[in-house]
Structure 1
């Protein structure tokens, strides 16, 4: 994706994911600020104020001149960090995507919105622009149904927040062109991310399916009075959390089986595993458990300091990376 002109990235949607992506791109461009232009498109009436208040909290501490004076450069030079950078706020979709090399969509999680958006983007943006959706569960095959060229679109689903977490689930539809997948992988690998291509579309993709399965059982255990919300979180951060930071599920249990590996693990305690699987709780949204669990969570945590969370997560990831 080398070019003489700056790389133009347009993010559609200035919510948590959209601004986190903008921070990620700005951070990676800090050594060559002339190489990037970020355009943020949203129709919210307080867009500039919202960006000024929120974007600085996503910038790593080593780059946080923005946090100190709450200023952002709108196509002008202001300080060392934003000099030459062009950070553009544009409420008009046509002009926002007109020169984009990449368009990242982080709009409402609504299929009707997305299927109506992409034909407009396709019409206004350059023909070679990469088109990515950050949806948590609406597949590209649904989003592209009204496009003239559905081969241009694929899902690039981040793990929140993307300016911290390395994972990006690359989820093409059957119509997505292989070249689009290849260019997308090249881009993110060069940003030191971990892009993983899913072999087929599935509801919720993979990361959320795994996380929600754990969430469901955690809710069941609280509902049944086995442990409190805080107990389960403490259990996670003192056991599976640090373990899974350095070894995933299969590697962990493969190690747990000793010389016999994963096969040995199931040979030794497969009966217990099956008994737990048989006893997994049936929990459904709207069945009445919400009030007590929401109350416990509010009492335990109040409003979570996501800046502190992100800095601690960054240090964990740095520690894991340093051992590779």
Structure 2
């Protein structure tokens, strides 16, 4: 059965950590009936843990189907043998993933899609012990995946085009944004961009230019909302007026280069950690994740509504 079928769909999730349960919440909200969601996790109290924690991803326990219908498997072979999609969100540990995929391959249907939610271990390394390395694809979410639209599809050089296309079709049908990353690179793309900003943020705080809370306020009241509407290229292309991105660089290219040349180069372990960590802990304590997710959901809903209006108007004008 095709993974984008509107009929019965069987999805198996391996790993019930934060990312695994977030994906579970997403799939529960989008599974056609009758379908089956199976979760395989090795912790001794897996079933109790999943039942207790999965409900937290649904406001007011508003799950579209009963969470009691989720099948919790204790045996890997049993969990994957009938699945159309097998999605791994286990530890960020290469030996674990290499062993896991070699074992999954022995029991999974030959047409099943095999996805890893890794944050940084390339498919080419994970698939080293597999007989058919063309089956494995990294599907890297932006946390939390039950809310955030982005999925980075990062194939190895051996991943088949069919696997990439079927995966894109699956996620697009569920109003997600699967971006095909054309080349394996450390950290993929979203995290590279985010961590570049984080590095400069650490530099500015450590240098005494700004505090932790002040820097966050700057991002939240400037590039944060702007980038929710338009990414950096589109934003600065607009900033150049009729001359576009070329005009932008003509106008303030010297300032851009001066910032690039003066960019901070802190490294993990350089000694800035105590100051920055302590300040973040003093300002924020324990972050209210539920509040973060609620506001994010509202923001994404507004963006989707506005983009829908634009698409409607463009369709009407053509």
The aligned counterpart of 2:119 is: 136
SS in structure 2 of the partner of residue 144 of structure 1: helix
SS in structure 2 of the partner of residue 145 of structure 1: helix
The aligned counterpart of 1:73 is: none
4+ residue runs over 6 A deviation: none
Residue 86 of structure 2 corresponds to residue 82 of structure 1: no
Q: Which of 6, 9, 22 is equivalent to 1:7?
A: 9
5+ long unaligned stretches in structure 2: 308-318
SS in structure 1 of the partner of residue 208 of structure 2: coil
Residue 225 of structure 2 corresponds to residue 239 of structure 1: no
Q: Which of 200, 208, 215 is equivalent to 2:183?
A: 200
The aligned counterpart of 1:28 is: 30
Q: Distance in 2 between matches of 1:50 and 1:245?
A: 34
Q: Distance in 1 between matches of 2:177 and 2:226?
A: 19
The aligned counterpart of 2:100 is: 117
Question: Aligned runs of 1:84-233 on 2, under 5 Å?
Answer: 86-233=69-216
TM-fit CA distance, 1:50: 1.9
The aligned counterpart of 1:322 is: 305
Count of residue pairs brought into register by the alignment: 305
- Confirm or deny: 8 A CA contact 2:28 2:65 kept in the other structure: no
Change (3 A) 1:185 1:60: farther
The aligned counterpart of 2:250 is: 267
The aligned counterpart of 2:40 is: 41
Q: Distance in 2 between matches of 1:189 and 1:81?
A: 22
The aligned counterpart of 1:56 is: 55
SS in structure 1 of the partner of residue 38 of structure 2: strand
Q: Distance in 2 between matches of 1:152 and 1:321?
A: 33
The aligned counterpart of 1:282 is: 265
1:287-320 deviation line (CA, Å, top 9, x unaligned): 1111111111111111111111111001111111
TM-fit CA distance, 1:3: 5.4
TM-fit CA distance, 1:154: 0.7
Residue 231 of structure 2 corresponds to residue 258 of structure 1: no
Q: Distance in 2 between matches of 1:193 and 1:60?
A: 21
TM-score for both structures, normalised by structure 2: 0.93
- Confirm or deny: 8 A CA contact 2:11 2:38 kept in the other structure: yes
Q: Distance in 2 between matches of 1:228 and 1:3?
A: 51
Q: Distance in 2 between matches of 1:307 and 1:169?
A: 24
- Confirm or deny: 8 A CA contact 1:139 1:173 kept in the other structure: yes
TM-score for both structures, normalised by structure 1: 0.91
TM-fit CA distance, 1:65: 4.1
The aligned counterpart of 2:281 is: 298
TM-fit CA distance, 1:91: 2.1
Which sits farther off after the overlay, 42-51 or 302-311? 42-51
Q: Distance in 1 between matches of 2:281 and 2:287?
A: 9
The aligned counterpart of 2:315 is: none
TM-fit CA distance, 1:239: 0.6
- Bigger proportion of residues as helix: 2
